[in-house]
């Protein structure tokens, strides 16, 4: 809960205790994925075939855009009306795009609107933001159909290298899709979160992301639960698509076919991709495609495929070496490696990465879903309050137990952190040399209705009469949400402290319940608090009476003594009960019964004073003695 996770340049969103659910979205170049936390488990939202990946492809054929697999299927037939890889254009100006133009399958529309790129698709003109919005809408719809209610909030991931323009374009696309962006999270950071690395050992982690058309290598530095992107590198034109190309070229050479139309080339590439993906699981596969009436069938074994792609993997490793150099680190400094991107499924990629970093990379979570899983965890944390919640205020009041099980709040709920507050307490009994400090969390007035955070004892308080010691208890919550409670006896400087993580392990449901209870029980809590306070006061009076009787009991005659005893036992009975009025009546009765006794003690004190002591000393003695 009190771990802070944010990236440089990102302003933490103020967290609200909102109950609405938010989704996590990996808006990828090739594929997009939507996930969310249900219960406490992140879950990828799949279609009826169990498929979590939504191809980031939009077809503009009829009125409504078609997104995903259905759009991909239209690609060979309508190469000019189907847009893929639009992510590459996010935030790019017309100039950038013209430079890329040769590599792009789309026609860039000239426009007058302040440099914003637009694409001509059939008879319409759409911007990359609008196309991305169509993908996001499809993901939002998938989530809403799955959940049966509206979804309006999301955490969306972006490449670590995305600049402001590209990030803003992503936010605009979300807004257009009707999604409020809780936060944009860097893709490598999301992957690291998915593996729970935020609670792993501090140090350097590498995220190796080989997707469809891009390769990204990022070095993250984890410190106090916060990931910082140290360096990024890679190749924006290197990915699984290049594996497909290598395989397609190999097949063309073997069969001697050439001069394919753009539609035919796309069919061949799709066949190559299918064969490549089969080779991940099987030692051999067949590349099958029908092009211009000719059937192509080529068997390929994994070894042959590996020879084709080895130079491409070599390029990714050169980029890894470069990014380590940029950060003035070596592979040996890297604590863990996370694999991201569908292409890291290829066994040879895994083997090369393991060899380069001299360790087995983390790959238990599907590499093409891991970023969305991390985004979902972050979305959950931002809306529901979990252990990784970015926190800038204290969610529940922090306080200390005082006599009678009453909670004295030291830091109120919703106080911004970091914060330090102190409160003074004193001893309750004469000669008390230790004090138990019990820190609690919650809104209720009594300890048993709050959550215990930790206890410690302040020992070595010099022996003084009750109420003379000055014990300052300080609650300090740092920017990471770590609470330190310290206690110091001010006259002697004796100190003790503990450090606790206030909301660690507190689920969002528990937190909500605690807040709700504090409101519904406010009145009864107040009553209870007043009762407990009356009890404490009555017990203090009884203790003082016992001390006075021990010292000067001889001043009382038997009748007076039994009257005092009767009143005292009446009060003791009232204290054991639940009736505050009765305790009050008991206190008043005891006060009346001890009136004469108090008078006699006063006379005794005055006599002593007349024997040479100064009156103020005697009075001070009387007062601190606490006699009735």
Region binding Mg ion by CB under 5 A among candidate stretches 205-213, 383-391, 441-449, 556-564:
205-213
277 binds ligand ADP per the rule CB under 6 A: yes
Choosing from 134, 172, 235, 241, the residue that interacts with ligand ADP (CB under 6 A) is 241
Region binding ligand ADP by CB under 6 A among candidate stretches 174-182, 228-236, 273-281, 476-484:
273-281
Find the angle CA(244)-CA(250)-CA(252) to the nearest 5 degrees: 100
Shortest Å distance, C-beta 315 to ligand ADP: 15
432: partner contacted, choices ligand ADP, Mg ion, none (Cβ within 5-8 A by kind): none
140: partner contacted, choices Mg ion, ligand ADP, none (Cβ within 5-8 A by kind): none
The conformation of residue 491, written as its DSSP 8-state character, comes to T
> What torsion do the CA atoms of 208, 210, 216, 221 make, to the nearest 10 degrees?
-20
DSSP state letters, 104-150: -SSEEEP--STTB-EEEETTEEE-HHHHHHHHHHHHHHHHHHHHTS-
How far apart CA 222 and CA 217 sit, in angstroms, is: 16
Shortest Å distance, C-beta 239 to ligand ADP: 6
- Active-site residue, 209 included: yes
- Active-site residue, 216 included: no
- Active-site residue, 588 included: no
Q: Tokens for 471?
A: 């014990």
Shortest Å distance, C-beta 247 to ligand ADP: 11
How far apart CA 568 and CA 591 sit, in angstroms, is: 10
Footprint (CB under 6 A) of ligand ADP, residues 188-217: 211-214
How far apart CA 308 and CA 313 sit, in angstroms, is: 10
Per-residue string for binding with Mg ion, 551-580, x by CB under 5 A?
------------------------------
Region binding ligand ADP by CB under 6 A among candidate stretches 262-270, 276-284, 413-421, 422-430:
276-284
Ramachandran bin of 223, using left for φ above 0, alpha for ψ from -120 to 50, beta for the remaining angles: beta
Footprint (CB under 5 A) of Mg ion, residues 98-117: none
Shortest Å distance, C-beta 364 to Mg ion: 17
Q: Which is nearer to ligand ADP, 31 or 427 (CB)?
A: 31
| Element of type H or E holding 266 | helix 262-281
Nearest to 53 by CA among 367, 378, 380: 367
Choosing from 167, 345, 409, 528, the residue that interacts with ligand ADP (CB under 6 A) is 345
Question: How many CB atoms neighbour CB 559 within 10 A?
Answer: 8
Q: Tokens for 338?
A: 């996370």
- Active-site residue, 600 included: no
346: partner contacted, choices Mg ion, ligand ADP, none (Cβ within 5-8 A by kind): ligand ADP
How far apart CA 196 and CA 377 sit, in angstroms, is: 10
- How many residues sit in the footprint of ligand ADP (CB under 6 A)? 22
- Calculate the alpha carbon distances from 104 to 112, 403, 445, 491 in Å: 21, 74, 66, 77
186 binds ligand ADP per the rule CB under 6 A: no
Shortest Å distance, C-beta 271 to ligand ADP: 12
Nearest to 529 by CA among 446, 451, 469, 459: 446
Q: 């450090």: which residue's tokens?
A: 499
Choosing from 24, 52, 188, 211, the residue that interacts with Mg ion (CB under 5 A) is 211
28 binds Mg ion per the rule CB under 5 A: yes
481: partner contacted, choices ligand ADP, Mg ion, none (Cβ within 5-8 A by kind): none
187, 235, 401, 489: the active-site residue? 187
Choosing from 81, 273, 350, 384, the residue that interacts with ligand ADP (CB under 6 A) is 273
- Calculate the alpha carbon distances from 245 to 204, 213, 279, 495 in Å: 34, 11, 15, 70
130, 172, 209, 563: the active-site residue? 209
Per-residue string for binding with ligand ADP, 22-61, x by CB under 6 A?
------xxxx---------------------x--------
Shortest Å distance, C-beta 31 to Mg ion: 7
Characterize the bridge pairing of strands 334-340 and 215-223: unpaired
Q: Which residues of 167-189 are buried (b: 16+ CB within 10 A; e: fewer)?
A: bebbbbbbebbebebbbbbbbbb
Q: Tokens for 152?
A: 């309006």
Choosing from 130, 368, 443, 488, the residue that interacts with ligand ADP (CB under 6 A) is 368
> What torsion do the CA atoms of 323, 326, 330, 331 make, to the nearest 10 degrees?
-10
438: partner contacted, choices ligand ADP, Mg ion, none (Cβ within 5-8 A by kind): none
Total residue count of the chain as it appears in this document: 628
**End-to-end alpha carbon distance in the chain:** 50
234 binds ligand ADP per the rule CB under 6 A: no
- How many residues sit in the footprint of Mg ion (CB under 5 A)? 2
Q: Tokens for 63?
A: 């009125």
Shortest Å distance, C-beta 39 to ligand ADP: 26
Per-residue string for binding with ligand ADP, 68-107, x by CB under 6 A?
----------------------------------------
Question: How many CB atoms neighbour CB 517 within 10 A?
Answer: 16
Q: What are residue 57's DSSP bridge partners?
A: 84
273: partner contacted, choices Mg ion, ligand ADP, none (Cβ within 5-8 A by kind): ligand ADP
Question: How many CB atoms neighbour CB 481 within 10 A?
Answer: 24
Shortest Å distance, C-beta 86 to Mg ion: 14
What are the residues binding ligand ADP (CB under 6 A)? 28-31, 53, 211-214, 239-241, 273, 276-277, 280, 341-343, 345-346, 368
What are the residues binding Mg ion (CB under 5 A)? 28, 211
Catalytic residue positions?
26, 87, 187, 209
């Amino acid at each position: 809960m009190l771990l802070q996770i944010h990236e440089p340049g990102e302003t933490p969103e103020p967290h609200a205790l909102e109950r609405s659910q938010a989704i996590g979205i990996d808006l990828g170049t090739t594929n997009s994925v939507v996930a969310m936390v249900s219960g406490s488990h992140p879950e990828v939202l799949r279609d009826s075939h169990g498929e979590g990946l939504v191809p980031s492809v939009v077809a503009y054929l009829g009125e409504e855009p078609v997104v995903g697999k259905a759009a991909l299927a239209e690609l060979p037939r309508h190469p000019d009306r189907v847009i893929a890889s639009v992510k590459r254009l996010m935030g790019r100006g017309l100039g950038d795009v013209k430079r890329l133009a040769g590599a792009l399958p789309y026609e860039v529309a000239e426009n007058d609107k302040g440099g914003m790129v637009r694409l001509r698709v059939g008879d319409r003109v759409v911007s990359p933001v609008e196309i991305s919005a169509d993908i996001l809408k499809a993901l939002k719809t998938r989530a809403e159909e799955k959940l049966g209610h509206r979804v309006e909030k999301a955490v969306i991931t972006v490449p670590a290298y995305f600049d402001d323009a590209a990030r803003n374009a992503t936010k605009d696309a979300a807004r257009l899709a009707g999604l409020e962006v809780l936060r944009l999270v860097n893709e490598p950071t999301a992957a690291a979160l998915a593996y729970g690395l935020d609670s792993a050992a501090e140090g350097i982690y590498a995220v190796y992301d080989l997707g469809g058309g891009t390769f990204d290598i990022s070095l993250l530095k984890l410190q106090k639960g916060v990931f910082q992107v140290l360096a990024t590198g890679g190749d924006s034109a290197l990915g699984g698509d290049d594996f497909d190309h290598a395989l397609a070229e190999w097949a063309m050479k073997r069969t001697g076919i050439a001069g394919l139309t753009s539609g035919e080339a796309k069919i061949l590439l799709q066949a190559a991709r299918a064969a490549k993906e089969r080779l991940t699981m099987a030692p051999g596969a067949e590349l099958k495609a029908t092009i211009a009436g000719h059937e192509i069938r080529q068997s390929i074994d994994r070894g042959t495929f590996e020879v084709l792609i080895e130079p491409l993997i070599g390029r990714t490793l050169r980029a890894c070496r470069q990014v380590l150099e940029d950060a003035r680190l070596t592979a040996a400094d890297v604590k863990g490696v996370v694999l991201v991107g569908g292409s890291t499924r290829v066994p040879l990629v895994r083997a090369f990465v393991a060899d380069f970093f001299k360790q087995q990379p983390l790959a238990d979570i599907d590499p093409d879903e891991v970023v969305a899983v991390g985004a979902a965890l972050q979305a959950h944390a931002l809306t529901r309050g979990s252990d990784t919640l970015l926190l800038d205020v204290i969610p529940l009041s922090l306080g200390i137990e005082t006599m009678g099980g009453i909670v004295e709040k030291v830091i109120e709920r919703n106080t911004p952190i970091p914060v330090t507050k102190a409160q003074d307490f004193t001893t309750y009994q004469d000669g008390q040399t230790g004090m138990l400090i019990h820190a609690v969390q919650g809104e209720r007035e009594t300890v048993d209705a709050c959550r215990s955070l930790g206890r410690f004892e302040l020992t070595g308080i010099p022996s003084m009469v009750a109420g003379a010691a000055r014990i300052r208890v300080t609650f300090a919550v740092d920017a990471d949400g770590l609470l330190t409670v310290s206690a110091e006896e001010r006259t002697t400087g004796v100190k003790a402290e503990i450090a606790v993580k206030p909301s660690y392990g507190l689920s969002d449901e528990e937190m909500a319940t605690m807040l709700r209870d504090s409101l519904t029980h406010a009145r009864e809590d107040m009553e209870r608090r007043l009762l407990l306070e009356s009890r404490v006061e009555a017990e203090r009076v009884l203790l003082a009476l016992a001390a006075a009787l021990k010292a000067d009991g001889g001043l009382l005659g038997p009748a007076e003594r039994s009257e005092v005893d009767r009143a005292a036992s009446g009060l003791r009975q009232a204290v054991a009960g639940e009736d505050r009025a009765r305790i009050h009546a008991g206190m008043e009765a005891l006060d009346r019964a001890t009136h004469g006794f108090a008078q006699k003690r006063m006379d005794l004190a005055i006599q002593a004073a007349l024997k040479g002591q100064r009156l103020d000393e005697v009075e001070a003695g009387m007062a601190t003695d606490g006699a009735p």
